[in-house]
């Protein structure tokens, strides 16, 4: 028995922050950002707009695309590192607002890999009897971004993407998922303050420890290596090759990372889904937003072989192979 993606949806906040806007905030230039990252603009949440607000809109669209109602859901998994509160789980806020009265709900913390990790969990539950699982990647990265740090503030954006995972009636669907982690690299990307290691305090805020710190250059190299390795392992495990792929939907971190991975794999540019120029890096939301756009643009058809690939803080990396 297989599970499949029965419907997808996405939502980004209305406000757009361009590279020209960033030029007025830190010592950077549109030219530098485009050349080094491929990003031209990103969406940012407005005042009072939280993770669940974006997630609910993406989820409603995914439910409509799947043709089911919230009351049909057995489980809601929210992948995020920017939930509404430390407690309770933001997935419970979403469960209430959708009216998913029968669904269990919890958050999943795997940074940029959260959506693929959630897909893997949903796949396992559907294979063992659940009917419909809603998975969401939703992030308000603008809230943990240090807008005075040009090394990081140019990269991130806000948004949400969602998918309904249901039982497949044929042999198509999620063929396999691979999940990896390496905690020896946990200091590559981190938010040092605000947890039990460094609880909120005036000192913590004064030292700006509530914001993302990143070793960009080291992360870049590990990203290329892990994305390439896991793509090869994923295809080999299914007895497939790069030529069999119709579309690769990677985590939208940096165009240079994705071009390097595509070139090492021998993947032509038209088989790589890219939309980071308009959204930046939306962490756990990046793959479901890209997947939703690819579907709506007709780049994925019945029978298409699609591979997802992600990496992020932790370090985590993950992949999924899907026959549509």
Q: Which is nearest to 190 in space by CA: 209, 217, 206, 203?
A: 209
Instruction: Choose which of 216, 259, 264, 299 interacts with ligand UT7 (CB under 6 A).
Output: 216
Q: Which is nearer to ligand UT7, 74 or 190 (CB)?
A: 190
Any catalytic annotation for residue 153? no
Pair of tokens at residue 132: 């419909």
Q: Please say whether the beta carbons of 211 and 245 come within 8 A.
A: no
Q: C-alpha 270: how far from its chain's center?
A: 21
Any catalytic annotation for residue 43? no
Site for ligand UT7 in 185-214 (CB under 6 A): 189, 214
Any catalytic annotation for residue 186? no
- 80 is an interface residue for ligand UT7 by CB under 6 A: no
- 128 is an interface residue for ligand UT7 by CB under 6 A: no
Q: Which is nearer to ligand UT7, 128 or 217 (CB)?
A: 217
CA–CA dist 155, 166 (Å, integer): 34
Backbone phi, psi, residue 181, to 5°: -150, 155
Q: Which is nearer to ligand UT7, 90 or 219 (CB)?
A: 219
- 32 is an interface residue for ligand UT7 by CB under 6 A: yes
- 37 is an interface residue for ligand UT7 by CB under 6 A: yes
In sequence order, which ranges of the chain are alpha helices (DSSP H)?
Answer: 19-23, 30-37, 51-66, 90-98, 114-127, 150-153, 202-206, 216-237, 255-265, 276-279, 286-296
Q: Which is nearer to ligand UT7, 36 or 264 (CB)?
A: 36
Which residues are the active-site residues? Answer: 112, 251, 281
User: Which residues of the chain form contacts with ligand UT7 (CB under 6 A)?
Assistant: 28, 32, 36-37, 112, 150-151, 154, 189, 214, 216-217, 219-220, 223, 253-254, 281, 312
């Amino acid at each position: 028995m297989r599970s499949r993606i029965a419907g997808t949806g996405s939502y980004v906040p209305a406000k757009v922050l361009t590279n020209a806007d960033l030029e007025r905030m830190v010592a950077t230039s549109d030219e530098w950002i485009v050349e080094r990252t491929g990003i031209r603009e990103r969406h940012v949440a407005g005042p009072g707009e939280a993770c669940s607000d974006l997630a609910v809109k993406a989820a409603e669209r995914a439910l409509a695309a799947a043709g089911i109602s919230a009351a049909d859901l057995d489980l809601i998994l929210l992948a995020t590192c920017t939930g509404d509160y430390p407690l309770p789980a933001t997935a419970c806020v979403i469960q209430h607002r959708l009216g998913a009265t029968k669904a269990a709900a919890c958050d999943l913390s795997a940074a940029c890999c959260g959506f693929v990790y959630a897909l893997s969990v949903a796949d396992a539950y559907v294979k063992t009897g659940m009917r419909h699982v809603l998975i969401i990647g939703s992030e308000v990265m603008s809230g943990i971004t240090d807008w005075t740090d040009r090394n990081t503030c140019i990269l991130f954006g806000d948004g949400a993407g969602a998918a309904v995972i249901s039982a497949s009636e044929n042999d198509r669907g999620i063929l396999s998922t691979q999940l990896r982690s390496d905690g020896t690299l946990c200091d590559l990307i981190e938010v040092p303050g605000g947890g039990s290691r460094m609880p909120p305090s005036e000192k913590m805020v004064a030292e700006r420890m509530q914001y993302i710190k990143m070793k960009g250059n080291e992360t870049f190299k590990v990203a290329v290596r892990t994305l390439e390795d896991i793509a090869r392992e994923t295809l080999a495990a299914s007895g497939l090759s790069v030529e069999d792929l119709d579309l690769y939907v990677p985590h939208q971190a940096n165009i240079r990372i994705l071009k390097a991975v595509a070139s090492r794999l021998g993947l032509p540019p038209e088989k790589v889904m890219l939309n980071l120029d308009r959204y930046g890096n939306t962490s756990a939301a990046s793959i479901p937003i890209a997947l939703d756009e690819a579907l709506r643009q007709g780049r994925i058809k019945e029978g298409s072989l699609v591979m997802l690939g992600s990496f992020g803080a932790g370090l985590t990396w993950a992949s999924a192979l899907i026959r549509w």
